[in-house]
């Protein structure tokens, strides 16, 4: 797909006036091919957070825009309805002739690699080779093994800190690394989200009791590759609503995975998750989403569990790894961040939430689940 995009002719825009595209503002910087200080260097401040190629028509002519997002949290989509969100200006975007990407004699930086060319190289790196895919398979396999190990301990009477200790010790004993430990200041080796906690619950003194539901989210680094998954456990006898919201989260995850095929839009995931949640009368969290992963914990593409414009443009190509991890609320979809620790996310109305997550590898023949447990629930399981 990217190769076909590169084959298109990219022409420099002759006017610097902004053009409104998809409810967002893009500034087109003229490419001055002979300038000793190429203006495209101005286009990448602040540093790039995410970049993408967007085909557009301007003044009746086809162009490809390279859109660069800044690190600022303003550009991390809040996942509210697009119609309710005011236009947010992207820092910069630019139309660049293809020679600018590949010809070091056209005013490129030292070494002949422009930021735009580097962006394309990075996107290609997301499509893993067979050897790299095996690395991801090994990481997913160990992570599933860890989840099966923890499974026997998740019951009434155990504290969430003890679950964390078990996860940490098992991972270290096998000479691997808990990915969450120290990540952005996080101090534990897993996340434990109980009842109305949607995600990022910090293990502590809370002791599980009959009737609780708890999501255990674990990520392992195996030889540099990440395996990531979560599972919601029912502790003892739970109420009907708890059982139903867990079933909905599990079924929506597998329904979304089953709908995927090579080259499909990311929005297929959101379409299916929302359809399943609607059937149950539950809601889908929008503020927190799935993600690509590989040698990095979080990377492109974002995987929202509801359809939006961006996910309709993004494609899941063979060799890409990502998570599918819908968070389903029994009540409204709205969330509340605990400002005491700035990690724990709860339902705003205090009702239950459940989540299941798998790491997926898109292959040439379809999606492959990398984190399937030997003793865990599979497609068709009833809670």
Domain spans of the chain, in order of start:
2-125, 130-369
| Among the ranges given (113-117, 169-173, 186-190), the one the predictor scored with the smallest mean pLDDT | 113-117
Is residue 367 scored above 90 in pLDDT? yes
- 211, HSE (Cβ side, Cα atoms, 13 Å): 1
Is residue 10 scored above 80 in pLDDT? no
CB neighbours of residue 6 within 10 Å: 14
pLDDT of residue 124: 74
CA pair distance 114, 101, nearest whole angstrom: 6
pLDDT of residue 64: 45
Assign a CATH topology to domain 130-369. Creatine Amidinohydrolase (3.90.230)
CA pair distance 262, 366, nearest whole angstrom: 6
Predicted confidence band of residue 125 (pLDDT cuts 50, 70, 90)? confident
pLDDT of residue 122: 64
Tokens of 77: 């989509």
Mean pLDDT of 93-98: 36
Helix or strand (DSSP H, E) at 68: strand 61-70
Q: What is the DSSP string of 133-197?
A: HHHHHHHHHHHHHHHHHHHTT-STT-BHHHHHHHHHHHHHHTT-EETTTTGGG--SSSEEEETTE
Q: Helix, strand or coil for residue 319?
A: coil
- 100, HSE (Cβ side, Cα atoms, 13 Å): 21
Is residue 296 scored above 90 in pLDDT? yes
Is residue 232 scored above 70 in pLDDT? yes
Q: Helix, strand or coil for residue 318?
A: coil
- CA 347 → CA 49, 145, 175, 213, 333, distances in Å? 28, 30, 36, 14, 7
Mean pLDDT of 79-104: 37
Tokens of 340: 């005491």
Q: Is the full-model pTM beyond 0.75? A: no
Q: What angle do CA 151, 157, 161 make, to 5 degrees?
A: 70
Contact, 180 vs 127, CB < 8 A? Answer: no
């Amino acid at each position: 797909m990217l190769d076909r995009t590169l084959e298109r002719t990219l022409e420099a825009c002759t006017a610097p006036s902004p053009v409104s595209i998809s409810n967002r503002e893009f500034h087109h910087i003229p490419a001055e091919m002979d300038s000793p200080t190429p203006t495209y260097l101005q286009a990448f401040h602040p540093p790039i957070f995410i970049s993408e190629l967007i085909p557009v028509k301007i003044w009746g002519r086809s162009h490809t825009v390279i859109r660069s997002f800044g690190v600022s949290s303003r550009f991390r989509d809040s996942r509210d309805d697009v119609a309710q969100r005011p236009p947010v200006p992207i820092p910069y975007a630019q139309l660049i002739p293809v020679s600018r990407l590949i010809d070091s004699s056209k005013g490129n930086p030292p070494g002949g690699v422009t930021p735009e060319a580097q962006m394309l190289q990075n996107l290609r790196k997301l499509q893993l080779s067979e050897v790299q895919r095996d690395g991801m398979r090994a990481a997913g396999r160990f992570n599933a093994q860890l989840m099966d190990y923890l499974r026997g301990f998740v019951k009434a009477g155990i504290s969430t800190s003890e679950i964390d200790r078990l996860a940490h010790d098992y991972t270290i004993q096998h000479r691997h690394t808990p990915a969450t430990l120290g990540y952005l200041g996080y101090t534990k080796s897993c996340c434990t989200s109980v009842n109305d906690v949607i995600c990022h619950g910090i293990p502590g003194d809370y002791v599980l009791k009959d009737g609780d539901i708890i999501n255990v989210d674990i990520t392992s680094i195996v030889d540099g590759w990440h395996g990531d998954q979560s599972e919601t456990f029912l502790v003892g006898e739970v109420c009907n609503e708890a059982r139903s919201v867990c079933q909905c989260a599990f079924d929506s995850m597998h329904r979304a995975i089953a709908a995927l095929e090579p080259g499909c839009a990311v929005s297929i995931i959101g379409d299916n998750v929302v359809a399943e949640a609607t059937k149950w009368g539950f809601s889908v969290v929008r503020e927190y989403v799935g993600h690509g992963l590989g040698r990095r914990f979080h990377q492109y593409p974002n995987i929202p569990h509801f359809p939006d414009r961006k996910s309709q443009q993004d494609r899941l190509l063979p060799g890409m790894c990502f998570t599918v991890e819908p968070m389903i609320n029994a009540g409204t979809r709205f969330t509340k961040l605990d400002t005491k620790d700035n990690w724990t996310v709860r339902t705003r109305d205090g009702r239950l939430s459940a989540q299941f997550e798998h790491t997926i590898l898109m292959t040439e023949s379809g999606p492959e689940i990398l984190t399937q447990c030997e003793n865990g629930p599979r497609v068709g399981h009833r809670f």
